Amino acid sequence: MSHFESDRHRRAALAAIRVGRIPLKYAYAGSAAYTHDAYARSGGYLSMLASARYEAEALIATRGPGVDRLAVAEIGPGNGGRSSAFLGRLTSLGHPCRRYLALDFSATLLAIACARLARFAGAGMSVDSHVWDIEAGASGGVERWRPERDAVIVCLLGHTLGNVERPTATLANIRASLRRGDVLVLSVVVARPGEAADEVLAPYRSRQFRDAALEPLLAAGLSDADLDFVVRWHDATVTGEAVLRRPAALDGACLPAGHRVRCFQSRRFHHLDVIAAVRDAGWHIRDAASAPGGNHLVITASGE
């Protein structure tokens, strides 16, 4: 049964659907956490992931305070599959994480991710979680969890920064939630000149992706049979739009046939733009390295 995670989410999502642009965070919460979990286990999703190896190596290379007693706070762990590979890589590099905090907009997805990471708890890592909407403002979640006096490493991996509405403001919210000396490990998907639309969109032409992107509209009471779904590649961004085939009722209002709702976006970044965004958000850049293949950029930065 399609549903929102809370009445607050429901009200905000309904208002957004009416104006035609629903933030992607709603595609990870409530029943959408389960459609995301199914999509994140599909070949299309897995084909787009950077190897956890480069992110783990970037983290170790920061050699910041506390690197031998790693405390890692990960924002947006998704279903935990990729986090598991990342934490496994840290262990195989000789730097097992001792404390791990998962932070996400979605309490449901946090529960799915933490269940998947339980095997690390048996190996001596504590696993905690905290709900935080990084687009809405700063949070005290990391501060309350922080090991006494130690710096922490905050990771924002995969496509997460490309999903938010305002990347620089979001990075500033994260900066405002951390201390001097804390380290940010950010990986983003890179825009590559001349990429053909068919190539970029191929992983998004699956039933699992359509289900994941449309789930918030179904939670709002719209019917899948009334929706067309269109994916596009423009301005270095993949977007997904639902288009109403016929008029539909939404919480007492009537949406006309042809009403469009942008319900997915994944932005690719140009190297210099994303480095500038991190700097503008108050971070001091330590390093920026392209993963082999050139699809991903891993930036490490510290709060100065």
Contact positions vs ligand SAM (CB under 6 A): 25, 28, 40, 49, 76-78, 82, 104-106, 109, 132-135, 157-160, 163-164
Instruction: Output the furthest CA–CA distance in the chain (Å, rounded).
Output: 59
User: CB-wise, 111 or 288, nearer to ligand SAM?
Assistant: 111
Q: What residue is closest to ligand SAM based on CB? A: 158
Torsion-angle region of residue 127: left (phi > 0), alpha (psi -120 to 50) or beta?
A: beta
Which residues are CB-contacts of 141 (< 8 A; sequence separation ≥ 6)?
101, 103, 130, 131, 132, 177
**Those residues with Cβ within 8 angstroms of residue 191's Cβ, 6 or more apart along the chain or in another chain:** 236, 268, 269, 270
- Min separation Cβ 79 and ligand SAM, Å: 7
237-244 and 227-234 strand pairing: antiparallel
Smallest distance from the beta carbon of 253 to ligand SAM, in angstroms?
26
Q: Is the Cβ of residue 39 or residue 233 nearer to ligand SAM in the bound state? A: 39
Neighbours of 276 (CB within 10 A): 13
Nearest distance from C-beta of residue 32 to ligand SAM, angstroms: 9
Judged by beta carbon, residue 255 or residue 261, the one nearer ligand SAM is 261
Q: Which is nearer to ligand SAM, 2 or 163 (CB)?
A: 163
H-type alpha helices, 99-254: 107-116, 118-122, 141-145, 160-163, 167-176, 197-201, 207-219
Q: How far apart are CB 210 and ligand SAM at their closest, in Å?
A: 16
CB of 212 to ligand SAM, least distance (A): 10
Q: Which is nearer to ligand SAM, 107 or 243 (CB)?
A: 107
Pairwise CA distance, residues 49 & 162, whole Å: 13
